């Protein structure tokens, strides 16, 4: 079911990107969003859905893969989260990259006024 839903979302993203290219209006914002969405869906399929299906098939045979490998599902979630972060940064690098900041130091001039005294009287 998850693979079917992901495939329909890929198909819809493809249709939206083709319509955006035809109109040439807003194609850049759709291409970034499509790239991010497609990458996150692919990493979710690769690191969450496929291992879960494989474990389900192996569990149906009566062999417990959890006893052999351990809590791999937690590791798959961690890897999927890291990949999603990398995909997001890579597809939105223009907005995420650090800006170069120039440091300017302005000199302030101070003027010291000196009062002159004539016989102890200030003027």
- In the chain, DSSP finds a helix count (H) and a strand count (E) of 6, 2
Alpha carbon distance 48, 50 (integer Å): 6
Domain boundaries, the chain: 36-92
Report pLDDT for 27.
57
Distances (CA, A) of 21 to 1, 28, 39: 30, 9, 20
pTM: 0.57
Residues near 23 by beta carbon (within 8 Å), at least 6 away in sequence: none
Q: Which residues contact 122 (CB under 8 A, 6 or more apart)?
A: 115
Q: According to the model, what pLDDT value does residue 114 have?
A: 56
In this prediction, residue 113 carries a pLDDT of: 56
Query: pLDDT digit of tens for each residue in the chain (123 aa)?
Result: 777 887 888 788 777 777 766 666 555 666 777 788 888 888 888 888 888 888 888 888 888 777 777 777 778 888 888 998 898 888 877 776 666 766 666 666 565 555 555 565 555
In sign, the C-alpha dihedral spanning 82, 85, 87, 90 is negative
């Amino acid at each position: 079911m998850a693979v079917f839903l992901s495939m329909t979302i890929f198909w819809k993203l493809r249709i939206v990107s083709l319509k955006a290219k035809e109109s040439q209006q807003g194609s850049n914002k759709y291409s970034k969003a499509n790239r991010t969405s497609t990458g996150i869906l692919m990493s979710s399929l690769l690191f969450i859905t496929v291992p879960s299906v494989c474990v389900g098939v192996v569990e149906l045979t009566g062999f417990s893969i959890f006893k052999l490998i351990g809590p791999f599902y937690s590791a798959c979630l961690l890897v999927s989260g890291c990949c999603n972060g990398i995909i997001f940064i890579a597809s939105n690098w223009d907005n995420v990259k650090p800006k170069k900041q120039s440091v300017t130091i302005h000199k302030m001039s101070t003027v010291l006024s000196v009062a002159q005294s004539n016989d102890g009287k200030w003027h």
